């Protein structure tokens, strides 16, 4: 379809603009020759390297790579320690929060959380605490089982919402403790 619109836009350079355009054309040629010289002197092909970077960034963005590096750095600040009485309140509060959010607290939960030594540790169980920068943010209790198929059952497990939000424990296991 042909347009019957007779309007036109005419753009022109001033004398100063034309002189500048000529300088830029000459500089463009100088820049092009300099880049070509660099390419010829280089042992690696810049264009192939750029193409490879584009391919790699197409597979996984730079943002995703930075986020992964942050997670690796932060996970180095996670330390798994065995239960000590000083962690009892964290063990209880983290589990209460977890259980109340996803399930319902039962009398047996209160007994085990109020008396972890008697109900878990004294029965050959284990409790682990995940510390992030020395703050308890994850807990995991293993109860000894009398079963020939497996030795322990994971009885209590909780991760602070603060740690869930930052996904601090993703690299070291489901609950950072086992």
- pLDDT (0 to 100) of residue 172: 46
Beta bridge partner(s), residue 128 = 82, 140
Q: Quick: pLDDT tens for 127-177.
A: 999 999 899 999 999 999 888 888 898 889 999 988 876 666 654 444 444
Contact 176, 138 (CB under 8 A): yes
Tokens representing 49 are 């390297």
* 3 state DSSP class of 123: helix
Confidence check: pLDDT of 68 > 80: yes
Q: Quick: pLDDT tens for 90-141.
A: 999 999 999 999 999 999 999 999 999 999 999 999 999 999 989 999 999 9
Which of 15, 73, 158, 117 is CA-nearest to residue 65? 73
Tokens representing 46 are 């810049």
Integer angstrom CA distances of residue 14 from 8, 18, 43: 19, 6, 45
Q: What is the pTM of this model?
A: 0.60
* 3 state DSSP class of 63: helix
Q: Quick: pLDDT tens for 7-47.
A: 777 888 899 999 999 889 888 988 888 988 888 888 888 88
- pLDDT (0 to 100) of residue 176: 40
- pLDDT (0 to 100) of residue 169: 62
- 5 CB-contact burial (10 Å; exposed 0-12 / middle 13-18 / buried 19+): exposed
User: Which stretch of DSSP H or E encloses residue 69?
Assistant: helix 62-75
């Amino acid at each position: 379809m042909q347009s019957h619109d007779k309007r036109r836009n005419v753009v022109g350079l001033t004398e100063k603009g034309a002189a500048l355009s000529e300088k830029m054309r000459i500089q463009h040629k100088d820049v092009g020759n300099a880049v070509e010289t660099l390419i010829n002197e280089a042992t690696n092909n810049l264009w192939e390297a750029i193409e490879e970077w584009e391919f790699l960034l197409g597979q996984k963005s730079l943002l995703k790579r930075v986020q992964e590096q942050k997670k690796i750095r932060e996970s180095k600040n996670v330390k798994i320690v065995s239960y000590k009485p000083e962690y009892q309140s964290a063990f209880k509060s983290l589990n209460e929060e977890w259980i109340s959010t996803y399930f319902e607290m039962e009398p047996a939960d209160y007994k085990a959380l109020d008396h972890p030594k008697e109900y878990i540790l004294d029965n050959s169980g284990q409790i682990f605490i995940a510390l992030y920068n020395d703050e308890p943010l994850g807990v995991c209790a293993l109860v000894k089982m009398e079963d020939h198929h497996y030795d322990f059952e994971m009885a209590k497990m909780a991760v602070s919402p603060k740690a869930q939000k930052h996904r601090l424990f993703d690299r070291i296991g489901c609950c950072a403790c086992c």
